Structure 1
Amino acid sequence: MTGYLKQSSTLLQFVTFLGFFFGFFALYIAALQTITPAMTGQSLEAIQSGAFNDPNLIGYLKITQFFYTIVAFFVPAALFAYLWQPYPATYLGLKPAPKGIQIVIALFAMYGVLPLAGLLGEWNETWPISQSAKDMQTMAEKLLAVMLRMPTIKDLFINLVLVAIIPAIGEELFFRGVLQRLVIKATRKVWLSVFITSILFSAIHGEVLGFMPRVVLGFGLGAIYVISGNLWLSILAHILNNGSQVVMLYLFQHGMMKDDPMKDTPVAWYYVALSIPVTIALFWALSKKSTPMSMIDPVEEKKKDGADEIGMDENL
């Protein structure tokens, strides 16, 4: 298997993967700045400002969001996995397909981390940040609210694809499928690596006042992957988290729910205290129903002739 990235050092693998990310991200930005004025006659900043009043501009923003996920996350992860070894789907944890009981447990476990995410989110809201950062976050929240206006059922399905399904696939391939595996390989400490990856996952979203909830959600997604070895479960849990927000917002907009899901609601401490042991129990149950891949390279041993190595994990 000469020439595959798996034969390179961990540092070179990191450099290659991050190079893919920054390279494709730069390509996306350059294309956006070139194509946007040609197609709309306006800059991206003008479109973002005008989207509050022009539905056509909202559609354009949704298209740019779709291509951002594909170009910045999906393509680098898929390309790295393809170059890493001849079985990219196996490397990413996309084979075999998960069992029904695994899906049920993983989805319930994802719901289990939400109370802690909500409680830390309340604390996160008290963080002192600059006025410019507050203004940027306020603008981002307003744009998101505009993009998630759903007057028809068609809009609901479009937003489920653009906000729940596509980002879940792209981000899980990138963060859990590749980045988390590389961090584990570098540190040889699985749970520390899951935590580090969850911090990076949250940081890249660029929302300071939403940082801690995303760290908790990222940790939950990373734990599902580590315990099960199946990335499909993390993808489905991610879809569940994003998709449920979209559905609840649709129901609220059409008067079928009283509480606005985009507004934070206080979380009782005892609810969090109860959810933590329940979630741990769910993760334990998932481990009993799974045969995870090894996330750490086994210690290399050499035969007496020094030529052959044994105990190598082909999934890493």
Structure 2
Amino acid sequence: MDFIKETAGEKHPFVQLVFLGLLVGLGFIACILVSVLVIYLSYGTESMMAIFSGQLDLKGGAGATKILLTVQQLFFFLAPALLLGVTEGKNPNRFYGTAGPRINWLSLVFLIMLVAVPFMGWTTELNQKMHLPIALKKVEEWMRYLESQGEETTKAILKMSTVGGLLVNITVVALIPAICEEFIFRGALQRCFLRWMKNPHVAIWVSAAIFSTIHFQFFGFFPRMFLGAMFGYIYFWTKNIWYTVFAHFLNNAYAVCVAFYMQKHNLPIDKDDTAGLPWYVALISLALTVALFGSLKQQTKPKESIAGIEPHPNP
């Protein structure tokens, strides 16, 4: 638990979790008020009705949705995490670890995300084929309905034909969520769980499960949970939030760039480029990912002190 640099008088982790939940609730209210105001000023009432009715193909529907998602990220995720840090630590670097990242560690994180693509695609394909017992048929139908609604929203957001549209989507879908979600799920939530549970593996996987659940895409639950756990271990070992932000950004930006490529070549946007991979390719991908994680763990391990001189802390 040495990566947690607690400040003097820091509250009990359960109290922090309750306070964080309160901040998230207030952030949700602020999100609704701010997004309605900004969407109304930008597109008018027609776009708001398009969002509520799910008809995002109407004029301004996709743009209004991007505004809603951006405001949601800022007020629902980022603001509560930062406010928790301010009220407890007052120094973001001490509370979350925000020092400048090292190039060699960033390169290793890049390789991890690259070699993990086949395994993540394979788990996604398996998860999408999942079926609940007959007794839960209605539940499965509800889950698949939400999944289809989410897919339609994603298609509307990722509809782009120019480099400018690509850059906007990389900002809205990749950069902003990477920063906002990592600060609350890894920086705030995982940190609280680790202080409370004392077991890093439990804290990381519980945080990853919550991270996946909050997206309400049940047939992508397991790959997203694995992804959250990957981010969690990166944060635990590097002690720096920017490495997980970088990993999260790479994952989302990859999806945006693939969608852009598909549309430029008149291919279906929902076509999975990793679908149908043999199981042994996924196994090789998993083995390489684990090996690279082992290398990251070794490289980020603090050097032992020599002749009583304390080692320099990791950034």
* 1:252 corresponds to which of 240, 248, 262: 262
Separation in 2 of the partners of 1:60 and 1:148? Answer: 13
What is the Cα deviation at residue 57 of structure 1? 2.2
User: Which amino acid in structure 2 is aligned with residue 160 of structure 1?
Assistant: I
Tell me if the contact between 2:34 and 2:71 (Cα under 8 Å) persists in the aligned partners: no
Tell me if the contact between 2:80 and 2:184 (Cα under 8 Å) persists in the aligned partners: yes
Change (3 A) 1:44 1:134: farther
What is the Cα deviation at residue 277 of structure 1? 2.4
Tell me if the contact between 2:120 and 2:223 (Cα under 8 Å) persists in the aligned partners: yes
What is the Cα deviation at residue 273 of structure 1? 1.6
Partner of 2:97: 93
What is the Cα deviation at residue 74 of structure 1? 0.7
Change (3 A) 1:35 1:154: closer
Matches for 1:195-214 after TM superposition, within 5 Å:
195-214=205-224
What is the Cα deviation at residue 117 of structure 1? 2.4
Separation in 2 of the partners of 1:206 and 1:261? Answer: 18
User: Which amino acid in structure 1 is aligned with residue 16 of structure 2?
Assistant: Q
1:50 maps onto 2:55 in alignment: yes
Q: How many residues align?
A: 288
Change (3 A) 1:102 1:116: same
Change (3 A) 1:161 1:216: same
Change (3 A) 1:262 1:161: farther
Separation in 2 of the partners of 1:89 and 1:26? Answer: 28
Structure 1 stretch displaced more, 136-145 or 283-292: 283-292
Separation in 1 of the partners of 2:181 and 2:155? Answer: 21
Deviations 1:81-113 (CA, angstroms, capped at 9, x unpaired): 111113122311212x12111001111112333
What is the Cα deviation at residue 276 of structure 1? 2.2
Deviations 1:240-289 (CA, angstroms, capped at 9, x unpaired): 0100111111111111x968565361232111221222112211211232
Partner of 1:306: none
User: Which amino acid in structure 2 is aligned with residue 233 of structure 1?
Assistant: Y
Change (3 A) 1:253 1:195: same
Matches for 1:268-279 after TM superposition, within 5 Å:
268-279=278-289
Partner of 1:61: 65
Change (3 A) 1:81 1:137: same
SS, match of residue 131 in structure 2 = coil
1:78 maps onto 2:82 in alignment: yes
TM-score by length of 2: 0.83
What is the Cα deviation at residue 35 of structure 1? 6.7
* 1:113 corresponds to which of 113, 116, 130: 116
Partner of 2:153: 143
Separation in 1 of the partners of 2:301 and 2:85? Answer: 21
What is the Cα deviation at residue 13 of structure 1? 1.1
Matches for 1:1-316 after TM superposition, within 5 Å:
6-32=9-35, 40-42=44-46, 44=48, 46-47=50-51, 48-54=53-59, 56-95=60-99, 97-125=100-128, 126-128=130-132, 129-255=139-265, 260=269, 262-263=271-272, 265-291=275-301
Tell me if the contact between 1:116 and 1:272 (Cα under 8 Å) persists in the aligned partners: yes
Separation in 2 of the partners of 1:288 and 1:259? Answer: 42
Tell me if the contact between 1:69 and 1:171 (Cα under 8 Å) persists in the aligned partners: yes
What is the Cα deviation at residue 36 of structure 1? 5.5
Tell me if the contact between 2:47 and 2:61 (Cα under 8 Å) persists in the aligned partners: no
TM-score by length of 1: 0.83
